[in-house]
């Protein structure tokens, strides 16, 4: 079955967003037509996406003209609410769907607002969540696009007695950024000696003893949680993915050397059991030569094609970063999220193909947004563990309600992290989040 959409002009933008909503996410396909007679004769579910009058007006959406434009110019967003849900591009016209859902969805998932180079950035030149339309209008914590789609499907089903629904079920997608594979192991002679010397000079005897115990095989490295995660995945059946940082050592890139045999063995072992991807370094950000070096390093270590990536420090410049990733050969990118707060950066808990506004085309790069990252709670929040957990479980409930993908990002070097003042125990937080049926 198909949903037929009448429009004045079939544009790349309209084709992109309607095919994503219907062909990808629903059990109905979509057809676009500029023939009003064909539209009026069609017996199935249909949408008049135009300002033209039609005697078949069970579902009319007034275009906001965003999808007929080119470049990054945008009409007024016209904020409002419908059934208590925040909406964009609202319409006051009678007998119509209350807002242009196609433009609103396109606006959020293409990240038009991030094309504005005049918007203030943080210390790492990253787009600030506080500057987003979602944050300013208090819906950053909602998978708002998925909620909108559900409203549209309900309207169509009520109007045409159809049974349009999402063709998916709730799933958990857990990913780990391996910024620092081990705390003590694999650091090389000079870094190891410096570690002993530094701990000795600061009279940190506990660290001296811990380092010695790990290096002599008497204890497990504190950052080594890989068997723990493998067992947990087997028990709770979530998707598990690792992103390995293999860039050169630097101020923000602190992993052990990609040449280290212990590190290479870890990467190979995990690639046998789990999906792995590249964690492009801080140095490699928007640097084509360094990106290619790191991309080829990981492929050489694993002897596998690498198709997934997440940028270190969640550094992302749209569209430049995505253009370079597509040129590199990356097919799936997982950088879409905020490093300093929880929420839905692209307004959705569904993956989507990237649409390049400058080129006015759908690309071959698929974007997988995440909605929470442990570093946001540890570094950018003063909340205690019970507050953090409830915030994460609230997001989990919202994603489950729309049968979406709950994608969360974590770090192995927090495996033994604790903060007594804030009552934070990372392992306990992680376990309670995974186990919860929120």
Q: Is the pLDDT of residue 201 over 80?
A: no
Phi, psi of 215 (to 5 degrees): -70, -20
CB atoms within 10 A of CB 168: 15
Q: Is residue 5 within 8 Å of 32, Cβ to Cβ?
A: yes
Who contacts 417 (Cβ-Cβ below 8 Å, separation ≥6)? 378, 424, 425, 426
* Banded pLDDT at 421 (limits 50, 70, 90): confident
Who contacts 21 (Cβ-Cβ below 8 Å, separation ≥6)? 30, 102, 105, 149, 152
- Per-residue pLDDT, averaged over 283-298, amounts to 98
**Which sign, positive or negative, has the C-alpha torsion 272, 277, 283, 286?**
positive
Q: What is the pLDDT of residue 199?
A: 63
Q: Is residue 317 within 8 Å of 281, Cβ to Cβ?
A: no
Q: Distance between CA atoms of 64 and 170, rounded to whole angstroms?
A: 32
Q: Is residue 353 within 8 Å of 365, Cβ to Cβ?
A: yes
> Long-range contacts of range 75-84, CB-CB < 8 Å, 24 or more positions apart?
75/103, 77/107, 77/133, 79/137, 82/151, 83/151
CA proximity to 291, closest of 268, 272, 315? 315
Q: Rounded to the nearest 10 degrees, what angle do helices 101-109 and 144-160 cross at? A: 160
Q: Is the pLDDT of residue 200 over 70?
A: no
| Angle 392-394-396 from CA coordinates, rounded to 5° | 70
* Banded pLDDT at 111 (limits 50, 70, 90): very high
* Banded pLDDT at 196 (limits 50, 70, 90): low
State the chain's mean pLDDT as an integer. 94
Tokens of 417: 């992290």
127-141, 388-402, 409-423: which has the minimum mean pLDDT?
Answer: 409-423
- Per-residue pLDDT, averaged over 387-397, amounts to 97
Quick one: what percent of the chain has pLDDT higher than 90?
86
Tens digits of per-residue pLDDT, 300-357? 999 999 999 999 999 999 999 999 999 999 999 999 999 999 999 999 999 999 999 9
Tens digits of per-residue pLDDT, 119-166? 899 999 999 999 999 999 999 999 999 999 999 999 999 999 999 999
Q: What is the pLDDT of residue 95?
A: 75
CATH 3.20.20.370 range(s) for the chain read: 171-183+221-435
Partners of 409 in beta bridges: 175, 373
CA proximity to 369, closest of 313, 297, 310, 317? 310
* Banded pLDDT at 57 (limits 50, 70, 90): confident
For domain 171-183+221-435, give the CATH superfamily.
Answer: Glycoside hydrolase/deacetylase (3.20.20.370)
Tokens of 264: 């290479």
- Per-residue pLDDT, averaged over 372-387, amounts to 95
- Per-residue pLDDT, averaged over 356-374, amounts to 97
Which runs of consecutive H residues, i.e. helices, occur in 202-340? Answer: 205-215, 226-236, 261-273, 288-302, 320-328
CA proximity to 171, closest of 435, 336, 388, 405? 405
């Amino acid at each position: 079955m198909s949903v037929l959409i009448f429009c004045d002009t079939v544009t790349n933008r309209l084709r992109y967003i309607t095919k994503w909503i219907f062909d990808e996410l629903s059990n109905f396909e979509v057809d676009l037509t500029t023939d009003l007679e064909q539209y009026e004769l069609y017996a199935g579910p249909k949408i008049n996406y135009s300002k033209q009058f039609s005697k078949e007006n069970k579902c009319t959406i007034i275009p906001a003209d965003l999808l007929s434009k080119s470049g990054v110019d945008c009409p007024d967003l016209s904020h409002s609410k419908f059934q208590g849900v925040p909406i964009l591009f609202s319409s006051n016209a009678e007998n119509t769907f209350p807002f242009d859902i196609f433009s609103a969805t396109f606006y959020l998932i293409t990240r038009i607002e991030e094309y504005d180079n005049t918007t203030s950035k943080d210390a790492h030149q990253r787009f600030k969540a506080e500057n987003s339309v979602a944050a300013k209008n208090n819906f950053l914590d909602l998978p708002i696009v998925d909620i909108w789609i559900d409203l549209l499907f309900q309207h169509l089903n009520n109007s045409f007695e159809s049974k349009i629904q999402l063709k998916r079920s709730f799933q958990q997608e857990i990913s780990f950024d391996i910024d620092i594979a081990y705390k003590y192991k694999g650091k090389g002679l000079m870094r190891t000696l410096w570690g002993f010397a530094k701990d000795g000079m600061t009279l940190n005897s506990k660290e001296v003893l811990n380092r010695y115990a790990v290096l002599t095989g008497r204890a497990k490295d504190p950052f080594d949680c890989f068997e723990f995660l493998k067992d947990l995945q087997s028990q709770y059946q979530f998707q598990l993915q690792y992103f390995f940082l293999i860039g050169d050592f630097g101020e923000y890139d602190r992993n052990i050397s990609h040449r280290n045999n212990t590190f290479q063995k870890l990467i190979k072992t995990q690639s046998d059991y789990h999906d792995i991807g590249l964690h492009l370094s801080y140095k490699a950000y928007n640097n084509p030569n360094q990106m290619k070096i790191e991309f080829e390093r990981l492929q050489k270590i694993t002897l596998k094609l690498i198709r997934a990536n997440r940028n270190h420090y969640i550094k992302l410049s749209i569209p430049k970063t995505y253009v370079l990733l597509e040129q590199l050969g990356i097919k799936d990118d997982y950088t879409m999220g905020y490093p300093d707060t929880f929420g839905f950066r692209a307004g959705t808990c569904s993956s989507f193909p990237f649409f390049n506004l400058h080129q006015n085309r759908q690309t071959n790069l698929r974007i997988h947004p995440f909605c929470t990252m442990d570093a946001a709670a540890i570094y950018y929040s003063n909340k205690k563990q019970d507050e953090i957990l409830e915030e994460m479980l609230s997001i989990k409930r919202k994603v489950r309600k729309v049968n979406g993908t709950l994608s969360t990002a974590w770090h192995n070097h927090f495996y033994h992290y604790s903060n007594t003042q804030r009552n934070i125990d990372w392992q306990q937080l992680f376990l309670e989040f995974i186990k919860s049926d929120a």
